[in-house]
Chains A and B, each alone.
Chain A
Amino acid sequence: MCPATEVDTTSPRETARAGSTALTVERLCKTYGETTALDGVSFSVGHNEIVGLVGPNGAGKTTTINMVLGVLEPSSGTIHVEGVDIAAQRSRALQSTNFAAVYAPLPGNLTVCQNLRVFGLIYAVSDLKARIDFLLEQFELEHFRNIKCGLLSSGEQTRVGLAKAMLNRPRLLLLDEPTASLDPATAREIRARIHDFAMQDSTGVLWTSHNMYEVEEVCDRVLFLARGRILLEGNPRTLPREHGKNSLEELFVTVAREPLSLGVG
């Protein structure tokens, strides 16, 4: 049995019907035998909104992302992308979605350009050549156009993954620790670029990170996930003070270790 954990005051489905959400997740549960990985999670991501999904290792962040991507079936609950139920119309829902994750690099035996062309065809991107050229320029990858991805540094591979994630101008972008392997200077540039892309294309972004500085800088809203449940939600810049903490990192540690001291969990 998965009880619902709802901290969002608006019903996700109501917002989805109004056509203003990129992602609506309702009462999502995932169990593996006796183990509960996700326990009644509900939230939504609006267009032009970047939502941070943070939590300790094993909290259920990647499980949530995998379910939204259709590679993991929920035990119960629903996921709507742009109002389209992913369980009923997987291909249609994923047509307007894309993702980048540090643990899912593109095939290293294809060049940057070949990888982008293959995925561009899968997403049926119009005027693919121009789109690839634009993204190579945006992510400073022109010099690596004909280099095999496996020969690139991890930071360069991350940028190729992000270029792939932007190929189809997704309305929902899922980023699982997108700057984990980047140096601070490159990470800052990439954060700014992702933000610009999201705003230009009215994209909703779900962004997981262990870097609280990054979450504070980039995200409009943050969800604290622990033990498969969303325990806190709010503005990352004001949420720490609301709970008597000096920083988001301090709040993170408290949520991860002593959630009861905050009256949650």
Chain B
Amino acid sequence: MSKNDHDKSLSTLLSDWQVSPSTETHFRQDVWNRIGQRQKKSAWSGYLRAHAATAASFAIFATIAGGVTGYAQARDQSQERREAMATAYVQSIDMSAQLARR
């Protein structure tokens, strides 16, 4: 087979070849949806990276403030209860105080 004959048969074969792709009706919409979802996911992390120093400062401040407040409140309550119970205890071993309470 000569080169010309080979080209001719290839041309015939290619001209007879038909592709019938499956039709995806929502292909375009699906692509945009996926792009949108990816953008949503990356948007906050991108924002956080852009404001890392400020966000970290506020986070550290909030953690310290929360911890100090929690500790102080627990200590105050504890002290208040201790005062009340110590008074109740002294009264419990003192007869006249018990009589006075009746």
A and B are interacting partners = no
- Listed in ascending order, the chain B residues whose CB lies under 8 Å from chain A are none
